[in-house]
Amino acid sequence: SKIYRYGSIENGFSLSDGDIDICILNKDDFKYTPAQCVEILGEKLKNNGINDIKLLIRARVPIIKMKDNKSGISCDIGFQNKLAIQNTKLINAYSKIDERFQQMYWSKIKNINEPYMGTLSSYCFILMIIHFLQIRKPPVLPNLQNIYLNNFDKYEFVDNFNVSFFEDIENLHKYWSKDNNESLGKLLVEFFKYYANDFPYISGVASIRTGNIVSKEEKEWTKEHQFETNKTNTIKDRYWFCVEDPFEITHNLGRPVDKKSLFKIRGEFLKAAKIINNKSSLSGSQILDKILEK
């Protein structure tokens, strides 16, 4: 077995109180399923004095959520989640291209990103920012998957999904030119306006894989499909808000969002846009401080 860290601590978006995400990769012919591994390791941890522990065996990706008694460090442990490791590498690559990307990341502090409350995960919010920065004219961020697909022909696959992308950021200038000079304040205003008013929630899917919007119809992510009985999972799929995973393209990161939480999320974006409009004379960092005020 091999142990990998993934998620925010590795992708450049770690907050001081963030969890450590750990993935244990066993050999492909390992006799236990990820859910069974979670159950077995979870019991061993409990027997060794870890009291603050939850086993999410029926989650889409089964994990152990635990907190170390002495250090107070929170940790999520899962098994065989190879796609999450690739996703982490992709986000980390994007984080190296333009510092404005990281500066726009604030949702954790605003408490609109707890998936169990029906709102957005940190990862989903990061994808929303990348999508917005890709569609600016000119774009702030390129499409690293397209750059690779258009210039190279040796692809990497994980679980039958193409996980290839351009990783050599030092040589990105050979394939893409950095022409957007908008201020952080301007980008924040436009970001919040975009998700408050302009994003096509009814018909569209945010897709950093394509660098654009794809239609819900094309992906069959519509209300007509959300209650299909042939789904292998028992949790209902919801399509109020659609954000495509860049590699696992059948996975909607906006799935936890229902009608009520979408109303709340859009309200947060509207409020933030108004704050920025009223503080247009402030610098980008001052604007960000203002948004983060409770």
- What pLDDT digit, counting tens, does each position of 84-122 carry? 999 999 999 999 999 999 988 864 445 566 665 567 888
Instruction: Give the H or E element holding residue 55.
Output: strand 53-56
CATH number at residue 28: 3.30.460.10
Query: What is the per-residue pLDDT for 294?
Result: 46
Q: Are residues 142 and 266 in the same domain?
A: yes
Same domain, 61 and 98: no
Confidence of residue 279 (pLDDT cuts 50, 70, 90): low
Both 96 and 238 in a single domain? yes
Q: Which helix (H) or strand (E) element contains residue 25?
A: strand 20-25
**What pLDDT, on the 0 to 100 scale, is given for residue 37?**
97
Tell whether 72 and 218 lie within a shared domain: no
Domain that holds residue 135: 83-292
Q: Are residues 186 and 116 in the same domain?
A: yes
Q: Are residues 18 and 140 in the same domain?
A: no
| Domain termination site, one of 47, 65, 80 | 80
Same domain, 28 and 161: no
- Residue 205 and residue 267 share a domain: yes
Last residue of a domain, one of 56, 80, 104: 80
For residues 203, 206, 207, 210, the Cα torsion angle rounded to the nearest 10 degrees is: 70
Same domain, 56 and 92: no
Q: Span 276-289, mean pLDDT?
A: 65
In terms of domains, do 134 and 237 share one?
yes
- pLDDT tens-place string over residues 184-238: 888 888 998 899 899 999 999 999 999 999 999 999 998 777 665 455 554 567 8
Q: What is the pLDDT of residue 290?
A: 66
Segment 233-248 shows an average pLDDT of 84
- Does the pLDDT value for residue 20 go beyond 50? yes
Phi, psi of 249 (to 5 degrees): -70, -5
Number of domains in the chain: 2
Domain match, 117 and 171 both: yes
CATH code for the domain of 154 = 1.10.1410.10
Model pTM?
0.88
Residue 188 Cα to chain centre, angstroms:
18
Which of 80, 107, 130 is the last residue before a domain boundary?
Answer: 80
Is residue 179 predicted with pLDDT exceeding 70? yes
Question: Own/partner pairs for 168-175, CB < 8 Å, 24+ apart?
Answer: 169/93, 169/96, 169/97, 172/97, 172/142, 172/147, 175/142, 175/147, 175/151
Scored b (16 or more CB within 10 A) or e, 155-185 reads eeeeeebbbbbbeeeeebeeebeeeeeeebb
Q: Hunting for tokens 């994808």 — which residue is that? A: 127
Does one domain contain both 92 and 158?
A: yes
